[in-house]
């Protein structure tokens, strides 16, 4: 439980509460050279403990409910976007141009799942919109990895050169990341203590976030995992997207559980945005640092207009250092930070057994929000919590030590932690929630709705 203890301490939790957490250890899940299983267990366990703590406070319980973390449930949850099926159809995890490529001097990985990212990559390579992977491979083989990284990033696309762990440690962005805590926390003002209405102490399930409104301005994958978790715990989550940037359908089906989905042009719909913010409790953003500031969504600007908010931010590279403004995804962070070298073979880079940086950061983000709400109910103040995939990667590679259990439970695959739900999108096969404590919810109140199908308004 060392990793859970470390994460809980970073979140400001009372150390004694870690004793409320127990684990069902399954040594054969999320197998990797790096301690991915321990990372995943710690992130989910910390989130469950934060939920149990808030639930106990709102229900007036004398003791925080006991938390159980089952490695099997955690492994299924960390693969949720791969396990989702819509009417029996299994999604494709990565588009043809989202992969590793050999370059003239090494390797580069690109991310082109979204049409606009694909278009920008092909434009840099001087290829037509219908270019094949073979044509892209031929162009990339003529370029250096770092040249490709810079050119594609400058064009608004996504490409990262493969670095060894030593090369990453020598990079100025790595130094900036290492200097920050796993979760950055700040009190932005002296807003009065939050008055949380009590929840029924005899209710099952216990919904720690019941009655709270969460405005979700995130995109795949860490942010939506966090807000999906808050929805599980009873929050009214409204996701907003730009009308011209639809989410990938299968990812929307997976991460949309419990939420409503609306579209809003933040520039033209500023009055609507302000109306939503006026009664929101939590705002979660997952865009590049600073990208939403022009809409009045910078943390201090939000706190000035709407005192008492919890503002939660997640990004790929962090809101600091030379890469602060870069786009990024889990797969690219693995490549930059040396994880792909550690998990690879002599002749080819590799990857973690799941998008563990995304999922782990998502559960930590939800935990940070829950802890901020608990602290607000005692001490007041608008709150900021901020996480980055690279900082989670730093924790994975330098701060977690793999445990070798004397024994563990068997694991025969994810089926025990899967279920099926009818939805407006079709029949969904999906992972059950991994967050578990006494009287915790065992499912979401509603499945995902079609992208953009709901009004931009609270219930």
- In SS3 terms, the chain reads as CHHHHHHHHHCCCCHHHHHHEEEECCCCCCCCCCCHHHHHHHHHHHHHHHHHHHHHHHHCCCCCCCEEEEHHHHHHHHCHHHHCEECCECCCCCCCCCCEEECCCCEEEECCCCHHHHHHHHHHHCCCCCCCHHHHHHHHCCCCHHHHHHHHHHCCCCEEECCCHHHHHCCHHHHHHHCCCCCEEEECCCCCCCCCCCCCCCCCCCCCCCCCEEEEECCCCHHHHHHHHHHHCCCEEEEEECCCCCCCHHHHHHHCCCEEEEECCCCCCHHHHHHHHHCCCEEEECCCCCCCHHHCCCHHHHHHHCCCCEEEEEECCCCCCCCCCCCCCHHHHHHHCCHHHHCCECCECCCCCCCHHHHHHHHHHHHHHHHHHHHHHHHCCCEEEEEEHHHHHHHHHHHCCCCCCCCCCCCCCCHHHEEEEEECCEEEEEECCCCCECCCCCCCCCCCCCCCCCCCCCC
* Helices 356-379 + 222-232 axis angle, to 10: 50
Count the neighbouring beta carbons within 10 Å of the beta carbon of residue 346.
4
Rounded distance between C-alpha atoms, residue 375 and residue 186, angstroms: 11
Rounded distance between C-alpha atoms, residue 345 and residue 341, angstroms: 7
Residues 6+ apart with CB under 8 A from 85: 91, 428, 429, 430
Q: Cα dist. 444→51, 66, 347, 429 in Å?
A: 15, 21, 44, 14
Count the neighbouring beta carbons within 10 Å of the beta carbon of residue 151.
16
Q: Is 358 a catalytic residue?
A: yes
Q: Which of 358, 406, 415, 439 is catalytic?
A: 358
As annotated, the active-site residues are 358
């Amino acid at each position: 439980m060392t990793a859970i203890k470390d994460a809980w301490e970073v979140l400001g939790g009372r150390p004694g509460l870690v004793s409320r957490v127990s684990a069902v250890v399954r040594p054969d899940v999320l197998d990797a050279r790096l301690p991915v299983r321990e990372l995943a267990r710690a992130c989910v366990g910390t989130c469950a403990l934060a939920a149990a703590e808030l639930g106990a406070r709102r229900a007036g319980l004398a003791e925080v409910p006991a938390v159980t973390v089952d490695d099997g449930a955690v492994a299924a949850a960390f693969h949720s976007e791969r396990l989702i099926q819509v009417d029996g159809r299994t999604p494709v995890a990565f588009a043809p141009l989202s992969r590793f490529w050999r370059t003239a001097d090494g390797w580069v990985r690109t991310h082109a799942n979204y049409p606009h990212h694909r278009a920008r990559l092909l434009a840099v390579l001087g290829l037509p919109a219908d270019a094949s992977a073979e044509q892209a491979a031929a162009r990339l083989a003529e370029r250096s990895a770092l040249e490709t990284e810079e050119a594609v990033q400058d064009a608004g696309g996504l490409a990262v050169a493969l670095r060894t762990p030593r090369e990453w440690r020598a990079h100025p962005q790595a130094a900036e990341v290492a200097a920050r805590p796993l979760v950055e926390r700040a009190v932005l003002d002296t807003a009065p203590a939050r008055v949380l209405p009590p929840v029924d102490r005899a209710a099952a399930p216990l919904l720690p976030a019941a009655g709270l409104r969460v405005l979700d301005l995130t995109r795949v994958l860490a942010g939506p995992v966090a807000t999906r978790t808050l929805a599980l715990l009873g929050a009214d989550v409204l996701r907003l997207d730009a009308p011209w940037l639809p989410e990938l359908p299968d990812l929307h089906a997976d991460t949309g559980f419990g939420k409503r989905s609306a579209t809003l042009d933040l520039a033209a719909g500023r009055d609507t945005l302000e109306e939503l913010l006026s009664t929101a409790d939590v705002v979660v953003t997952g865009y590049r640092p600073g990208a939403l500031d022009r809409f009045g969504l910078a943390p201090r600007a939000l706190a000035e207009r709407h005192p008492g908010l919890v503002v939660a931010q997640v990004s790929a590279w962090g809101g600091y250092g030379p890469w602060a403004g870069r786009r990024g995804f889990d797969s690219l962070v693995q490549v930059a930070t040396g994880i792909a070298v550690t998990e690879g073979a002599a002749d080819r880079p590799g990857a973690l057994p799941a998008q563990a940086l995304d999922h782990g950061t998502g559960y930590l983000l939800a935990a940070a929000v829950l802890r901020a709400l608990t602290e607000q109910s005692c001490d007041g103040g608008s709150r900021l919590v901020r996480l980055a995939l690279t900082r989670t990667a730093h924790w994975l590679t330098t701060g977690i030590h793999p445990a070798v259990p004397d024994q563990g439970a068997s694991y025969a695959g994810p089926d025990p932690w899967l279920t099926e739900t009818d939805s407006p999108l079709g029949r969904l096969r999906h992972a059950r929630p991994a967050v578990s404590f006494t009287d915790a919810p065992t499912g979401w109140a509603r499945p995902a709705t079609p992208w953009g199908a709901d009004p931009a308004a609270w219930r």
